[in-house]
Amino acid sequence: MRKPIIAGNWKMNKNPAEAKALVAELKPLVKDANCDVVVCVPATDFESVRTEIAGTNIHLGAQNVHFKESGAYTGELSADMLCSSGVEYVIIGHSERRQYFGETDATVNQRVLAAVKAGLKVILCVGEKKEEREAGYTDALVEYQTLIALTGLTDEQVSEVVIAYEPVWAIGTGLTATDEQANETIGVIRKGIERKYGKDVAEKVRIQYGGSMKPGNVKGLMAQPEIDGGLIGGASLKAADFSAIVNFDK
Ligand code: 13P
């Protein structure tokens, strides 16, 4: 059995004081969660969130990492900088990074390798655009994105990566993939991993759904056999909504 993992992606929201207030409100609401609970916050919030969640079941995540250890990369953060700031998880390859910041499958792969080497837990995002789904490329695309991103990892390292399947057309739009669509595409990703790394690895990898996941649709999505959790954008910014998602099984 794979333990579910629910992660909030705060994106570019919340200053340190607001971040502290949000996790302070969240703590008692998620303390009995049966899943792993992660908040992926802006780097400027690492310190206030880390201090506030110390000793709780909430884990700290970042939203990106650079692939070099150090050097002339203005504005970027290395894996070591994240680790030494108390960060445990990192989102890599989010569609907003791909769309607005020139992220490619190749740089996503480099970032994954750097993160794993440093001991960070990776949340790898893949997903198709609306026109790609309509053209019938979804399955080929998500398998390709996934396998390229994982290239160079050992079987054991692959089994510890968390994958977030986020159809781009469902992010921030209020449109959710149907439970069946999400389950089917996540099944395709798992089959791709099985073909390359074997059944054991494929059965260990946790694959989340992301894209307008909310208290109202979490139960249906989480009831699907392939879906192991969620990566939550908008609804992770409200303690009541995020905790309701985390407590989907209660
Ligand atoms: P929304 O939940 O706001 O659709 O965002 C999903 C997402 O991009 C999480 O990474």
pLDDT tens sequence across 158-175? 999 999 999 999 998 988
Active site residue 59: no
Q: What is the distance in A from the centroid of ligand 1 to the CA of 237? A: 11
- With a 6 Å cutoff on the Cβ, whether 229 touches ligand 1 is no
Judged against a pLDDT cut of 90, whether residue 215 lies above it is answered with yes
* Single pTM value for the model: 0.98
pLDDT band for position 242 (50/70/90)? very high
State the average pLDDT for the chain.
98
Q: CA 6, CA 193: separation in Å to the nearest integer?
A: 21
> Among 10, 11, 95, which is best to mutate for testing ligand 1, by the most ligand atoms less than 8 A from CB?
11
Q: What is the distance in A from the centroid of ligand 1 to the CA of 216? A: 15
Active site residue 66: no
pLDDT band for position 101 (50/70/90)? very high
Tell me the average pLDDT across 195-203.
98
Tell me the average pLDDT across 178-185.
97
- Write the DSSP assignment of the chain as a string of letters: -PPPEEEEE--S---HHHHHHHHHHHHHHHTT-SSEEEEE--GGGHHHHHHHHTTSSEEEEES---SSSSSS-TT---HHHHHTTT--EEEES-HHHHHHS---HHHHHHHHHHHHHHTPEEEEEE---HHHHHTT-HHHHHHHHHHHHHTT--HHHHHH-EEEE--GGGSSSS----HHHHHHHHHHHHHHHHHHH-HHHHHH-EEEEESS--HHHHHHHHTSTT--EEEESGGGGSHHHHHHHHTTT-
Please tell me the predicted confidence (pLDDT) of residue 1.
Answer: 85
Q: What percent of the chain has pLDDT above 70?
A: 100
Q: What is the pLDDT of residues 55-73, one digit of tens each?
A: 999 999 999 999 999 999 9
Tell me the average pLDDT across 101-114.
98
In the numeric block, the tokens 């894209």 are attached to: 211
Q: Is 15 exposed, middle or buried (0-12, 13-18, 19+ CB in 10 A)?
A: exposed
Q: What percent of the chain has pLDDT above 90?
A: 97
Q: What is the pLDDT of residues 72-82, one digit of tens each?
A: 999 999 999 99
pLDDT band for position 99 (50/70/90)? very high
Judged against a pLDDT cut of 90, whether residue 176 lies above it is answered with no
- With a 6 Å cutoff on the Cβ, whether 166 touches ligand 1 is yes
Give me the catalytic one of 52, 59, 94, 226. 94
Q: CA 236, CA 214: separation in Å to the nearest integer?
A: 9
- With a 6 Å cutoff on the Cβ, whether 171 touches ligand 1 is yes
- With a 6 Å cutoff on the Cβ, whether 232 touches ligand 1 is yes
- With a 6 Å cutoff on the Cβ, whether 213 touches ligand 1 is yes
